């Protein structure tokens, strides 16, 4: 069944299948989530044209009533937690019914006066009453529609109602599912549907002006209203699914009455209800003093999306790291403590400013191992795992025994190879701080790697030969470094990034010297930057490297180049 969003002054309720998921800002200012499981799923009823409009109307009103109970139960929990007395009366199901009945009676009285009495008074004060019966009916119908429209327009500017309409706007953007500036005016929202039924049915019923027995009048008018409800639903559904701007402009006449562009808080609260609906199969009570995971997710999503650094995996990594759980395990966690919440949000704020996760945590996972990192080394990237993977394939295929990792940095490549093969592995780097960290990483991962201080090949023992040399050297063009994302140019060492004027300086140096340090038919293997593979392979061919191959990463980018030295 299609999702329905029910707005309230302090939050929203989302319905889908047989679940109502609520997210509110309580009177104490806390974000609270909850929900209710309903007995049956009405999915099939929403597949029948015309009839589905009536289901949307009557079942929708029933769901709105149920939503009241969910929202008020969350408020009631908040009252009990804060021990609020006298200032706020405890609301239970009986008081909800009383409140709703009182509201309906007030609306009925207002409707009787404004729709039955006032239009006739206005009409007969303007005309003498000698006009055609249908002209009188038409004019009174117009007056009634104008009064209803004006009433909704006045309500739009009431502070309490404005909050409801802002949450309705957030719900519309959620239902719209498009990055559209006018997504908050999504046509098929429940409030707009009710407004359209009210205006059109009042006009048609007034125009027809059936006058038989009172019970027949009521029956015929009710049938007219239900018919209009069905047609309104089909029209709004069509306008919502089709990209016809003129239709949306027509619907704007009513839609703007009940939809206000949401602010960040409105959207964040809505996302809390969405997360609760999607991630949990039941609605267990959140313990006192704890923060619902759904609300935490929504707040983090808002922060990262504002900074345009949103990656869904970032959310999971941050939460999983601070909770000491796997990304799978956190899906089963319903809430976090106040301290956990503060730590996670602080980390999220740092990520939103561009700081990489590896710098926030002080470590990064690479090829199933954990590596400490700092500003002195380049944080290992996921795409570099492909270099390790290809190196291990060659080691197994050629039965290689000795490996050198040039520009080792944190030691990630060398350590990953050492842990997954029987090779003697060496790692070299020009930075002593990097070598110190690499040695520490090797010890923590129980890997045996001999690290050597060297400027590429200068400093290595000349008599030592290697079966395979792997390297992920600096390959960013000097002029492009300032154009890099802040999380790279600010938090990664420039020494590990700058590849010279064309980004290929280190490739040329390594390729020109590598033959002297390779065993017969040994391999040289590189990670390369985007669009560099062909040029690097050409340089290798010029220096007696044959059988050169290029390997693409999972994003289809040419990422690894390697070849065999033959002379």
Predicted local distance difference test score (pLDDT) of residue 281: 59
Phi, psi of 430 (to 5 degrees): -80, -20
Distances (CA, A) of 436 to 371, 394, 439: 13, 29, 5
| Cβ contacts of 499 within 8 Å, gap of 6 or more | 473, 474, 475, 476, 477, 478, 505, 506, 507, 529
- CA-CA distance, 314 to 428, in Å (whole number)? 32
- CA-CA distance, 2 to 7, in Å (whole number)? 16
Chain position carrying tokens 């990483």: 441
Domain 286-353 and domain 366-565, same fold? Reply is: no
pLDDT in tens, 440-494: 999 999 999 999 999 889 989 888 999 999 998 887 766 655 555 655 555 555 5
What is the DSSP track for 281-310? SS-PPPPTT-EEHHHHHHHHHHHHHHTT--
Predicted local distance difference test score (pLDDT) of residue 426: 96
> pLDDT band for position 537 (50/70/90)?
very high
Predicted local distance difference test score (pLDDT) of residue 505: 84
Predicted local distance difference test score (pLDDT) of residue 103: 62
- CA-CA distance, 506 to 551, in Å (whole number)? 20
pLDDT at 321 over 50: yes
Predicted local distance difference test score (pLDDT) of residue 259: 92
Predicted local distance difference test score (pLDDT) of residue 445: 95
Is residue 257 classed as helix, strand or coil in its secondary structure? helix
| Cβ contacts of 518 within 8 Å, gap of 6 or more | 465, 466, 467, 468, 469, 524, 565
Predicted local distance difference test score (pLDDT) of residue 518: 92
| Of residues 94 and 502, more confidently modeled | 502
Mean of pLDDT values over 426-439: 92
Most confident of 3-17, 109-123, 270-284, 385-399: 385-399
Predicted local distance difference test score (pLDDT) of residue 441: 94
**CATH architecture, range 286-353:** Orthogonal Bundle (1.10)
Mean of pLDDT values over 305-324: 78
> pLDDT band for position 98 (50/70/90)?
low
Is residue 523 classed as helix, strand or coil in its secondary structure? strand
Predicted local distance difference test score (pLDDT) of residue 437: 92
Among 550, 564, 559, residue whose Cα is nearest residue 530: 559
pLDDT at 192 over 80: yes
Lookup: tokens for 272: 């809390």
Lookup: tokens for 286: 């959140």
DSSP assignment, residue 459?
T
Predicted local distance difference test score (pLDDT) of residue 5: 92
pTM of this prediction?
0.65
In 9-159, where do the E strands start and end? Answer: 11-16, 19-25, 31-37
Cα 441 to the chain's mean position, in Å?
Answer: 34
pLDDT at 99 over 60: no
pLDDT at 422 over 90: yes
Calculate what percentage of the chain has a pLDDT beyond 90: 27
- CA-CA distance, 68 to 62, in Å (whole number)? 10
Please provide the size of the chain in residues: 567
Q: Kindly report the average pLDDT of the chain as a whole number.
A: 82
Mean of pLDDT values over 345-360: 84
Quick one: fold of 366-565?
Rossmann fold (3.40.50)
Find the helix packing angle between 505-514 and 533-542, rounded to 10°.
30
β-pair type (466-471, 518-527): parallel
Q: Which range has the worst mean pLDDT, 23-32, 136-145, 320-329, 427-436? A: 23-32
Helix or strand (DSSP H, E) at 265: helix 264-279
> pLDDT band for position 149 (50/70/90)?
very high
| Cβ contacts of 552 within 8 Å, gap of 6 or more | 558, 559
Predicted local distance difference test score (pLDDT) of residue 133: 76
Contact between 501 and 477 under an 8 Å Cβ cutoff? The reply is yes
pLDDT in tens, 218-242: 898 889 989 999 999 999 988 888 7
Beta bridge partners of 427: 405, 451
pLDDT at 86 over 50: no
pLDDT at 499 over 80: no
For the chain, the structural domain boundaries read: 4-264, 286-353, 366-565
Calculate what percentage of the chain has a pLDDT beyond 70: 84
Predicted local distance difference test score (pLDDT) of residue 406: 93
> pLDDT band for position 91 (50/70/90)?
very low
Predicted local distance difference test score (pLDDT) of residue 249: 80
DSSP assignment, residue 517?
G
Beta bridge partners of 222: none
Mean of pLDDT values over 119-128: 81
Predicted local distance difference test score (pLDDT) of residue 167: 92
Distances (CA, A) of 428 to 55, 405, 449: 71, 6, 10
| Cβ contacts of 436 within 8 Å, gap of 6 or more | none
> pLDDT band for position 287 (50/70/90)?
low
Predicted local distance difference test score (pLDDT) of residue 88: 42
Phi, psi of 48 (to 5 degrees): -100, 110
Predicted local distance difference test score (pLDDT) of residue 299: 83
Predicted local distance difference test score (pLDDT) of residue 46: 66
- CA-CA distance, 202 to 146, in Å (whole number)? 10
């Amino acid at each position: 069944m299609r999702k329905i969003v029910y707005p309230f002054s302090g939050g929203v309720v989302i319905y889908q299948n047989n679940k109502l998921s609520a997210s509110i800002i309580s009177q104490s200012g806390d974000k609270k989530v909850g929900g209710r499981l309903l007995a049956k799923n009405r999915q099939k009823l929403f597949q029948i044209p015309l009839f589905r409009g009536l289901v949307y109307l009557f079942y929708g009103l029933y769901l709105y009533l149920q939503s009241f109970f969910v929202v008020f139960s969350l408020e009631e929990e908040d009252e009990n937690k804060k021990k609020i007395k006298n200032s706020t009366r405890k609301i239970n199901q009986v008081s909800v019914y009383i409140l709703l009945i009182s509201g309906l009676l007030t609306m009925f009285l207002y409707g009787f006066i404004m729709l039955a009495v006032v239009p006739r008074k206005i009409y007969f004060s303007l005309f003498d009453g000698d006009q055609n019966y249908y002209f009188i009916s038409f004019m009174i119908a117009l007056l009634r529609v104008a009064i209803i429209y004006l009433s909704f327009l006045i309500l739009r500017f009431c502070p309490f109602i404005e909050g409801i309409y802002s949450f309705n706007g957030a719900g519309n953007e959620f239902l719209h599912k498009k990055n559209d500036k006018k997504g908050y005016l999504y046509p098929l929202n429940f409030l707009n549907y009710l407004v359209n039924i009210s205006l059109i049915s009042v006009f048609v019923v007034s125009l027809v002006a059936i006058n038989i027995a009172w019970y027949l009048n009521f029956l015929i008018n009710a049938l007219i209203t239900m018919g209009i409800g069905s047609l309104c639903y089909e029209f709004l559904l069509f306008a919502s699914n089709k990209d016809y701007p003129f239709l949306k402009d027509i619907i704007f006449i009513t839609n703007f009455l009940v939809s206000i562009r949401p602010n960040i808080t409105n959207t964040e609260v809505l996302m809390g209800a969405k997360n609760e609906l999607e991630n949990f199969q039941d609605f267990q009570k959140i313990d006192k003093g704890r923060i619902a995971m759904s609300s935490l997710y929504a707040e983090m999503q808002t922060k990262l999306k504002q900074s345009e650094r949103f990656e869904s995996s970032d959310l999971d990594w941050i939460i999983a790291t601070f909770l000491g759980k796997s990304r799978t395990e956190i899906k089963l966690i319903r809430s976090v403590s106040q301290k956990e919440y503060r730590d996670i949000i602080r980390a999220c704020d740092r990520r939103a400013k561009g700081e990489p996760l590896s710098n926030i945590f002080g470590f990064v996972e690479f090829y199933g191992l954990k590596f400490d990192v700092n500003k002195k080394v380049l944080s290992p990237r996921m795409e570099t795992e492909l270099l390790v993977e290809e190196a291990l394939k060659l080691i197994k295929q050629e039965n290689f025994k000795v490996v050198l990792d040039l520009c080792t940095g944190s030691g990630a490549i060398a350590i990953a190879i050492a842990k997954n093969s029987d090779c003697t592995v060496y790692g070299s780097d020009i930075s002593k701080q990097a070598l110190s960290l690499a040695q520490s990483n090797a010890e923590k991962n129980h890997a045996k790697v001999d690290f050597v201080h060297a400027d590429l090949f200068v400093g290595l023992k000349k008599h030592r030969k290697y079966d395979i040399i792997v390297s992920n050297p600096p390959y960013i063009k000097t002029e492009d470094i300032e154009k890099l994302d802040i999380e790279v140019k600010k938090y990664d060492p420039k020494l590990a990034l700058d590849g010279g004027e064309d980004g290929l300086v280190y490739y040329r140096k390594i390729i020109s010297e590598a033959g002297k340090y390779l065993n017969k038919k040994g391999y040289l293997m590189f990670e390369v930057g985007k669009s560099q593979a062909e040029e690097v392979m050409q340089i290798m061919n010029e220096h007696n490297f044959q059988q050169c191959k290029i390997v693409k990463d999972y994003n289809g980018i040419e990422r690894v180049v390697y070849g065999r030295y033959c002379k």
